[in-house]
Structure 1
Amino acid sequence: MSSADFLFAPEVQKLLMVAYAAPDQQFSCSELARRSKLDPADAARTLEHLVSSGILKKQKPKADQADADTVSIDRSFLFHDELRNIALKSFAAAEPVRSMLRTKFKDSVLRAFVLGEDKEGTVELLVVHGQLTPDEAAMTAACQKLSKNIHRHLKMHVISHARFNSLTPRDPLASKLAATCALEIIALGDTKAQPPIEKVSLLQSAKKKLATLSRPSA
């Protein structure tokens, strides 16, 4: 198995999803196995590989403690920032959020973006709805459940398609969308959500009708 294949192995993704959600926390092997829902033997074997690769670092228990060794994210790892971004944009946040929105809100979510992640591990999201507006209570409940599963706090902005199209460069959301860390996870056409029906003004309607009447008959 190559290094690239190893990094994207399911066991690695499950462990790193937990570890990157709390990069300053120390985890025992048993706790990581429980949180990632992996077999303890598989978790131990994968952890050893992650430690030897430099992605995780191991801490020995103190002399007055009987606890087993613990591991945590090694921020000094050469590709720490890149791997963290990969995790955010794939298995750690983007994929679970995309799956949740496309499953539960496919009739209302027109577009969706991961805007970024702060130092506390809160992932900021932007959802653009179409003709139908997502039920607020259902969206809140779904986000809370997903947050618990991926061990990350979610901050969700839900706006209309018209509001999205009217964003100006001065709008905080526009600047976040323009950032390099922003990622579109649901594009137009990815769901069954329909764009809102554009309202034609009376003046535009009158111009169209006049243009039709003024055309020469065949």
Structure 2
Amino acid sequence: MSAADFLLAPEVQKLLMVAYAAPDQPLSSSELAQRSKLDPADVARTVEHLVGSGILKKQKPKADEAETVVVDRTFVFHDELRRIAMKSFAAAEPVRAMLRGKFKDSVLRAFVLGEDEDGALELLVVHGQLMPDETAMRAACQKLSKTLHRHLKMHVISHARFNGLTPRDPLASKLVAAGVIEVIALGDTKAQLPVEKVGLLQSAKKKLATLSRPSP
């Protein structure tokens, strides 16, 4: 099996999604099957494959307890594999599908900013002329949180605020950090840019300029 085939295997993706959501939490085969909604036989076979590859490691069970596995952070390609997972099935793809499916008329741009200190996935959404319905966005995030097996922290801001971010703004520093993933770019959805409002002073200047023009 090639590396690409290995990562594309649905059983591998579902188990890694669960494992990376709680990398330091020992999980038994039954817990993995429950969270991934996979057949126990498929879980057992895939876990052995992941342990044999060095991605997961077995934990010595205590008396009367089931054997558990945990993410092996010493795996030589751990960081690279985790980044690949975040850019695809473990974060970017599910977030993109949710936003483009339910909020295509309002979301202009969106980013996966990374994880906070508590392991929550932090997202930034930039809305256009229309603002996403708050109740619908909250419900969609709750549903996605269950799918990804991790908490989501969503920031929703206007296009004007996004363009006006200063280096002192915490969001600005997160946007330039390593590992940020843009999941929705301008033009990826049907969302329209907001109509720019002309200030009163600019409007007055335009009218004055028009009045000052000599008649033909």
Per the TM superposition, whether the score is higher than 0.5 is yes
1:35 equivalent in structure 2: 35
Contact 1:33–1:40 (CA under 8 A) maintained in structure 2 = yes
What is the alpha-carbon distance in structure 2 between the residues aligned to residue 51 and residue 174 of structure 1? 39
What is the alpha-carbon distance in structure 1 between the residues aligned to residue 207 and residue 124 of structure 2? 36
Query: What is the CA distance between 1:30 and its match in structure 2?
Result: 2.1
Structure 2 counterpart SS, 1:43: helix
Identity of aligned residues (%): 77
Structure 1 counterpart SS, 2:187: coil
Partner AA of 2:78 in structure 1: H
1:184 equivalent in structure 2: 182
Query: What is the CA distance between 1:208 and its match in structure 2?
Result: 8.4
Partner AA of 2:98 in structure 1: M
Partner AA of 1:16 in structure 2: L
More divergent stretch after superposition (117-126 vs 101-110): 117-126
More divergent stretch after superposition (150-159 vs 113-122): 113-122
Give aligned pairs, total.
Answer: 215
Q: TM-score, normalised by structure 2?
A: 0.91
1:142 equivalent in structure 2: 140
More divergent stretch after superposition (85-94 vs 17-26): 85-94
Query: What is the CA distance between 1:199 and its match in structure 2?
Result: 1.6
Partner AA of 2:114 in structure 1: G
1:14 equivalent in structure 2: 14
RMSD of aligned alpha carbons: 2.2
Change in Cα spacing, 1:70 to 1:202, as seen in structure 2 (3 Å) is same
What is the alpha-carbon distance in structure 1 between the residues aligned to residue 167 and residue 214 of structure 2? 42
Structure 1 counterpart SS, 2:114: strand
Query: What is the CA distance between 1:12 and its match in structure 2?
Result: 0.6
Partner AA of 1:81 in structure 2: D
Query: What is the CA distance between 1:68 and its match in structure 2?
Result: 3.0
More divergent stretch after superposition (80-89 vs 200-209): 200-209
What is the alpha-carbon distance in structure 2 between the residues aligned to residue 6 and residue 208 of structure 1? 66
More divergent stretch after superposition (10-19 vs 35-44): 35-44
Q: Superposition pairs for residues 193-212 of structure 1, below 5 Å?
A: 193-202=191-200, 204-205=202-203, 206-207=205-206, 210=209
Change in Cα spacing, 1:200 to 1:80, as seen in structure 2 (3 Å) is same
1:2 equivalent in structure 2: 2
What is the alpha-carbon distance in structure 1 between the residues aligned to residue 157 and residue 61 of structure 2? 49
Q: TM-score, normalised by structure 1?
A: 0.90
